[in-house]
Structure formats: structure tokens, C-alpha cells
A and B are shown apart, each in its own frame.
Chain A
Amino acid sequence: MLKSLIYKEWIKIRLVVWIALGLSLVALINIFLKVRHDILFVDAANYWYSFLFRGVVFFSILKFLPFIIGLAIAIAQYFPETVNKRIKLTFHLPVSENGVLIWMHTFGALVILTVFLVVLVLFTAGSAIFFPSNIIRASLLTMMPWFLGGMATYFLVALILLEPMWIYRGLYTAVAAGFVTVFYTGASIGAFRPVLMPLALITLLLSFVVLFSGYRFRKGEM
């Protein structure tokens, strides 16, 4: 049962996942080709200088990628369920209603996490060719809120999509937009360091919130 359930989720999101991976790969290739090109033109020492002392970020193209991935996977996974209230079929399976939703959500979150990890690992590997660990560490620190923001977006969009009433969808969207903005606040390199742990904790807690609109959906809130 669980295997079939997960397979059903995979069918829904696989196209989006491959597109997300493809896009990320293109973005990463773009980043490192540009770094290589710029280093040839301005010399590596000057390139390092602009990162260290002028705050020029060479990976800014990655900023909204996690947000888009989180959004796209959430829509691919949960929007079909809201068409004709199809998720009700899932809730009729001989499994606890919460349990089903938790499994679906965990699977989606793990897939996104995997995509993000692939991007981060490839980024680190690529950076290691051109930069010392100090610059890589600072870069990862700067990117971390963007990736956490992608996870938070997934959790919040799932909440919004499963909510049965349009008015509340609007209200949730307002709160979600306000919260996701926090992750994408413009900041200098490494400025998010003290707030990363609290943000990670809140994002982890957000993984539960889909249960709320799932419950409202089940109870037929109108």
C-alpha cells in the first residue's frame, strides 16, 4: 500500500522534479562558466577581491531557484488532489487519514531535500576548483536561507492548496508571503548566520501545518 502510494506521488511530481534538476544543472553550469570567464578576464586575485570586499555574489542566479522548485513541486503534488476533491479517494483508503497525508508530505519534502542537496553538493564541488574553503563556506552560508525558504514554500503552498475555502486560501497566502519574504531579504554575505538555526527550526515545524488544512478538507469545511 505504502509503496503504491509513494509511486502515485512520484508519478505526479516526476516531470517537475526532472525539470527542476535540469534547470539547476543549467544554472550551475552557467555560474561556473561565468566564473571561469571572469577569472580569465580580471584575474583570480581580483575576482576573489570583489567577493571578499565588495560583496559581489557570483551565485545570485540561484537565489529564487529553491523557491520556484518548492512552489512547483507543491503545485504538482497537491493541485491535482484538489480538482474534484480527488484527495477524498485517498482518505478512503484503509489507512489513517492523517497517516496518508503525512506519508505524502514526507515523500514530497524528501524529494525536494534531495534536489537541494544535489544542487549544494555540485555547487561545492564546482566552487572548490576556483575558491578556497573560506569563500565556499561564506557562499553556502549566504545561500542557506534561500534553500530553507524553498522548503518553507513547499510546506506553505501545500497548506494553501489543500484549504477548501477560497477566503482562507487568501488569508494563508498573505501570511505565507510575509513569512517566505523573510528568507529572501536582501543581505550582505554571511549576514543570515545568527538567524539560520531559528529559521531551520521554524521550517521544520512548518512541515506539520499541512495537517491543518487537510483536516479542514476532510471535515468538508465550506
Chain B
Amino acid sequence: MIKFSRYILVAIGILVTSIVLPSLFWTIFEKVPRSPNIFYSCITEDFIVVDGSTRKSPEGKEYTSDEYEQALPFMFYRQLMADGTMPDTIKGVKMETPSIARASSFYRYTPKRLDAPVPTLWPLLESQSGKVNLAMPEDYFRIEKRMEFIVARTNEINEEKSSLFTDALTAEGFIFPANLIAGLPTTRKSCDEGYFITDNEGSLFHVKMIKGEPYVVRIETPEKLDIVYIEAVDLRSKEYYCYVFTRNQGIFVIMDEVYDLQRLPVDGFNPAIHTFRLSADLFNKCLTILGENWYEAIAVDDMYQVVGTHGEKWEGLYERPEGEMLATLFPFETRMRDENSSFVRFYFKPSPGIRWLIFNLIALIAAVLLITRRGWSWKANIPDLLITAVTGIYGLIATQFFPNKFSKVKPPAKK
């Protein structure tokens, strides 16, 4: 029992050191990771890679500040207009501020959004109140066994409204409870489009409230989609309602009013580990998928036809000197947080390669020397040596912090 209690302490010691030491290491040695922004220029009909303060073409030609602004007239139209260098027409289209502003949009998805705690109560705004400003409702809905509206002031369920909406959902074949609920729970948007909801079987629905009445549409998908995340957007162009991320069938957008699903031409996108960025202008959309040490940019025209692609790869974390050093010093590291998740967990990250074996060996030799010097019995210390051999410096520290003094100490040899 007492020996067992010591091993619990040693395990805690290993856990704590494997969190603290690498975190200290990163505080000292971590460098800013590369995270370039990629745009598509309708002038040069090529990509522009913005990395820190440098702007380059894929071929490596560097742009000056003026060239950069002129290559992206939609991003910098206000500057170009002020300079008097904004072209009157591009590709035969007359340049007008409202249409430029309407077509421009940016979007960014990171895996942190997928693996995150989600609210289970949402406000359903009135979509057609006839007022210019949107207003927050006095109740919140949840979709569990049915759709329930809870009035905040009284903390009681509005039975009438709840059954009205539950019946409307049931009539469209909704299987309770809801799986995902996505919307824009704010009044700071151009109009209200309610919520995009998947039911227990993964079918997709659009739910909003029009003049107090439920509006429910079942959205037909071309194939059965394994939807993992939806993000509603408020585009000035009103081109689409939301982004739909599937586990491994890619990314879709749901076109405004017609509910057609348009697949974005990004292959190999994994929402659990990849970042997705989109920048849109009057002519093109530039889609970028970013991995830890690579990106793939795809430019599409307004009909979602691919007009260009460009990709790059650079050295990964463990190929850089600081990463190599970490993988030599420590056999693994434990983190409470991860860049791909909003949840707290014990993220166990084994070091790649076998270089850490050298340092584990050094830790083992140190443990052996300490045991010899103290004259402790070898037999009783075999588990400690094994622990040190496997966990390296962590095990060495933990076994020394909680000393293994259960065996009788040999009296020092008399001269």
C-alpha cells in the first residue's frame, strides 16, 4: 500500500514535469510559426503570398507596397481611389464602390471551433418584424426532446410557442434532439436568417421565425453528409447562408434562398486539423487550406470553377532546431491545451525519432550513480530504473523527489 502510494506520487511527478519542463522550454525557445496569407489577384491572374512584411508572387518576385496594392484593387480600392490609380474598369466591368464592397468577404475557420464547448440555448430573432433594427427576443430555445422556448424573465417554458415550433419541425420530418445548431445570435447583422440545424440523423434544416410563425425548410443534400460543423455568415452579397464542414466530404456553402449546396473545390481538407481561409472579391474567391507546415491555395471564379492553384511546404516543428532540441531532451510532452481544440485535456505528444533515447540513457546513468552512491539495494530499485529508462528526465526527477527508502539502508563499510 505504501509502495503503491509512492508510485502514485511518482506518476504525478512525471505528469507535472512533462507539463512544466517542455512549457518552460517553449517559453525560452519558441519562434513565431509561419502562417502566410494568400490572395488571388485579378490583375496579375496569379497568387500573392503575404508572409510577415514580404509580399511575393509564387515565382518569388517581390512586390513593392504600391505594386501590391495595385495587384489587389478590391482590397485596397479606397487607397487606390485616394491615389487616383484605381482603374475605371477591370475585365470590362465598371468599378463602383458599392458593388466592390458587396462582393468582398473574408472568412477563417480553425479546428478550435470544431472541438469546442457549444451553447445549448439560442435566441430566435424575429426575421420580418417590419422594423429597421433587429431586436433580441425575451426567450431562448433549446432542442432536446422537443423545441422549447424558455422566457428569461420568468425562467419558465412558453408552452404555446414550444409546441408551435415542435409541430412545425416534426411536420418536416425532424428527428429530435438536434445535433448541431448554428446561427448568428446577435442583432448586429444586416438581416436575420435564423438557424441551420442538423437533427439526430444528420439531416439539415433551416429554421427561422417570420411574424411569430415557424419557418422550417428541410435542406436536401446531394448525398448523405457527415456534417460536423456549420457556421452561418452574414454576407453583403447574400450569395450563401453558411459554410457546412463535413468530416471527410469537404466544405459546402448553402446558396441563399434556393438552398443548393455548392461544394468548394478543396480536397483532402480535414476539419479536425486544418485551417481554412476564404477571401472573396468581385471576380474570384481564394480558398486556402493550411496544415501545420504547408498550405494549398485554390482560386475559383464566380461559378466556382478552379482558375489556379498554388501550394508550399516548409520545415515542420520537429525539423527546426528548437523542435529537434525538444525531441532530444524529452521523450514526450504533455499539454493541457492544444492548438486544434478549445477543450482542456491531457494532450500527450510523443517526440518523433529516437534521439531522446540518448538523454533517457543519461538520465538512467544518473539514477544508477545515485543508487550506487547511497548504497541502496539494486533489487528494490529496478522499477525506478525502468521508469527512468522510459520517461527519461521526468522519471529521474520524480523518483528523486519521492525517495525510494523502503529497503534497509546498508551501513557504510567500516575501514
Contacts and interface: CB of A to CB of B under 8 A. Distances in A.
Interface string A163-202: 0000010011011001100100101111111110010001
A175 B153 contact: no
Contacts of A210: 5
A82 interface: no
B12 A134 contact: no
B142 interface: yes
B140 to A, nearest CB: 6
Given A134-B120, A175-B16, A129 B401 contact: no
Contacts of B140: 45, 48, 52, 132
B383 to A, nearest CB: 15
Contact of B121 (A132, A178, A179): A132
Contact of B16 (A138, A179, A185, A216): A179
A212 B119 contact: no
B2 to A, nearest CB: 5
Interface in A131-164: 131-132, 134-135, 138, 159
A49 B186 CA distance: 10
B222 interface: no
Interface of B is mostly: loop
Contacts of A194: 343-345
Interface string B133-152: 00011111010000000101
A192 B346 CA distance: 10
A208 B3 CA distance: 10
Interface in B237-282: none
Interface in B68-127: 116-117, 119-123
Given A48-B140, A49-B123, A175-B401, A131 B155 contact: yes
B139 A45 contact: yes
Given A45-B137, A193-B343, A208 B123 contact: no
Contacts of B1: 98, 208, 211
A211 B5 contact: yes
A182 B121 contact: no
Interface of A is mostly: helix
Interface in A109-149: 129-132, 134-135, 138
Best-surrounded residue of A43, A48, A132, A193 (most CB of chain B within 10 A): A132
A194 B342 CA distance: 11
A11 interface: no
Interface residues of A, number: 49
Nearest to A171: B401
B20 interface: yes
B152 A209 contact: no
Contacts of A185: 336-337, 344
Interface in B330-346: 336-337, 342-346
Given A53-B185, A175-B13, A188-B342, A215 B155 contact: no
Interface residues on B, range: 35 or more
B123 A212 contact: no
A43 B138 CA distance: 9
A72 interface: no
A215 B406 CA distance: 9
A60 interface: no
B137 to A, nearest CB: 7
A200 to B, nearest CB: 13
B155 A195 contact: no
Given A44-B153, A171-B401, A205-B8, A187 B2 contact: no
A209 B137 CA distance: 53
A13 to B, nearest CB: 22
B6 A130 contact: no
A190 B117 contact: yes
Contacts of A132: 121, 140, 142, 150, 155
Contacts of A193: 117, 343
Contacts of B403: 168
A172 B344 contact: no
A13 B122 CA distance: 46
Interface of A: 43-49, 52-53, 98, 129-132, 134-135, 138, 159, 168, 171-172, 174-175, 178-179, 182, 185, 187-195, 198, 202, 205-206, 208-212, 215-216, 219, 221
10 contacts: A48-B140, A52-B140, A168-B403, A175-B9, A175-B12, A179-B12, A192-B343, A194-B344, A195-B344, A212-B9
Sort A-B residue pairs by CB-CB distance and give the 10 closest, nearest first. Answer: A190-B117, A178-B16, A44-B152, A45-B152, A212-B5, A211-B5, A171-B401, A134-B120, A208-B5, A52-B119
Given A46-B136, A182-B336, A208-B5, 7 more contacts: A45-B140, A52-B140, A131-B155, A191-B343, A208-B8, A210-B5, A215-B406
